[in-house]
Amino acid sequence: MVEGIRTDRAGAGFKPQHFQPIIENKAQAGFFEVHAENYMGAGGPPHARLERLRRDYPLSVHGVGLSIGGAAPLDENHLLRLKAVVDRYDPVLVSEHLAWSTHQSGFMNDLLALPYNAETLILVTDHVDRAQNVLGRQILLENPSSYVTFEVSTFDEVDFIREIQRRTGCGLLLDVNNVVVSCTNHGWDIDDYIGRFPLHAVEEIHLAGHDAREDDNGRPLLIDTHDRAVEDRVMNLFRDVIRLTGPVPSLIEWDTNVPDWPEMMTEIEKISSALRAESIQEVMNDVA
Partner 1 sequence: MWRESLHILRNALTDRNAPVPPGVIGTATRFGVYRNNVEWGLMNALAEAYPVVLRLTGRDFFDALAQAYTEKNRPASPVLHEYGATFGDFIETFDAAQSLPFLADVARLERYWLEAYHAADHDWLHLSLLSAIPEEDIDHLRLGLHPSLRLFQSRYSAVSIWQAHQVAEFPDLSTIAFEPEHAIMVRPALDVHVHSIAGDAYGFYTRLKAGQRLGRACGDLDQTENGDPSTWLADLFGMGGVVSLDQPDS
The residue type of 96 is: E
Q: Which of 277, 284, 272 is nearest to 6 (CA)?
A: 272
Q: What is the smallest separation between the CB atom of 114 and partner 1, expressed in angstroms?
A: 7
Q: Is 60 helix (H, G, I), strand (E, B) or coil?
A: strand
> Does residue 119 bind partner 1 (CB under 8 A)?
yes
> Does residue 87 bind partner 1 (CB under 8 A)?
no
Binding-site member from 21, 46, 198, 246 for partner 1 (CB under 8 A): 46
* 211 Ramachandran zone, left/alpha/beta (phi>0; psi -120 to 50): beta
Residue (114 or 172) nearer to partner 1, CB:
114
Enumerate residues 181-210 that contact partner 1 by CB under 8 A: 185
Binding-site member from 60, 101, 178, 182 for partner 1 (CB under 8 A): 101
Binding-site member from 147, 162, 246, 282 for partner 1 (CB under 8 A): 147
Q: Which stretch binds partner 1 (CB under 8 A): 105-113, 136-144, 199-207, 280-288?
A: 105-113
Give the separation between CA 200 and CA 50, rounded to whole angstroms: 31
> Does residue 42 bind partner 1 (CB under 8 A)?
yes
Q: Are 138 and 170 in contact (CB under 8 A)?
A: yes
DSSP string spanning 169-230? Answer: --EEEEEHHHHHHHHHHHT--HHHHHHHS-GGGEEEEEEE--EEEE-TTS-EEEE----SPP
What's the sign of the alpha-carbon dihedral 205, 206, 207, 212? negative
Q: Is 100 helix (H, G, I), strand (E, B) or coil?
A: strand
Give the separation between CA 186 and CA 59, rounded to whole angstroms: 34
Residue (41 or 195) nearer to partner 1, CB:
41
> Does residue 152 bind partner 1 (CB under 8 A)?
yes
Q: What is the smallest separation between the CB atom of 280 and partner 1, expressed in angstroms?
A: 40
Binding-site member from 1, 148, 284, 288 for partner 1 (CB under 8 A): 148
> Does residue 76 bind partner 1 (CB under 8 A)?
no
The residues binding partner 1 (CB under 8 A) are 37-38, 40-48, 64-67, 70-72, 75, 77-78, 81, 100-110, 112-115, 119-120, 123, 147-152, 185, 213, 215-217, 221, 223
